Amino acid sequence: MNFRPAIKFCSQCGSATEQAIPSDGDTRLRAMCTGCGMVHYQNPLNVVGCIPVTDDGRILLCKRNIEPRWGKWTLPAGFMELDETTSQGAARETDEEAGADIEMGRLFSVISVPRVAQVHLFYCARLRSETLNPGYETIEARLFQPADIPWDELAFRTVSITLQRYLEDRAAGSIQVHNIDLT
Ligand SMILES: [Zn+2]
């Protein structure tokens, strides 16, 4: 399966790579440098985000101003950076996409999406203020009553599943942690 373009050149020495199985007991084809021998492993990426909720239960969604899924609604989320923890990344994305003042809560969902080699993690979050200041990645940031969530206009399946499970838990009076495999 090709999730991402194959690595063609070595990031260490710039030589061409070739697809080969490293001789250390590995079983998969890797991009191996024909010059220095460096093995370029490719592994899933983490997407981190949160479910920002006002004290009266409204949920913050952002209308995407970027591809993919331009114009669709999402929970604030994005790729984790190298120098941060998962919850720090979720907080940063929420600041960048919505300019929202949140108090980060606990982990809510971990969703594996092997088809695109990603793991999505969403945290619970409390919105401290209704003042929003969306950045360039967001056309509009808005608070939705659960009944008004635009289910048909959500950007990603991981977002709709997380919202669905969150609202079910809330209705049942107990917020759980959800480990989901989207295969
Ligand atoms: Zn090399």
Beta-bridge partner residues of 103: 126
User: pLDDT tens digits, residue range 50-105?
Assistant: 999 999 999 999 999 999 999 999 999 999 999 999 999 999 999 999 999 999 99
* Strand spans (E) along 102-151: 102-113, 118-127, 138-144
Alpha-carbon distance values, 49 to 13, 36, 127, 130, 162 (Å): 35, 38, 14, 18, 11
- Please determine, for residue 1, whether its predicted confidence score (pLDDT) is greater than 50: no
Asked if residues 137 and 66 have their Cβ atoms less than 8 Å apart, the reply is yes
Q: Which residue has the tokens 């999402």?
A: 74
How much is the pLDDT for 2? 52
What's the 30 CA to ligand 1 centre distance in angstroms?
13
What's the 20 CA to ligand 1 centre distance in angstroms?
14
What's the 48 CA to ligand 1 centre distance in angstroms?
32
Average pLDDT over residues 107-125: 97
Looking at the chain, the whole-number percentage of residues with pLDDT higher than 90 is 95
User: pLDDT tens digits, residue range 126-144?
Assistant: 999 999 999 999 999 999 9
Domains of the chain, start order: 1-42 (2.20.70.10), 45-181 (3.90.79.10)
What's the 85 CA to ligand 1 centre distance in angstroms?
30
Work out whether strand 178-181 and strand 102-113 pair parallel, antiparallel, or are unpaired: parallel
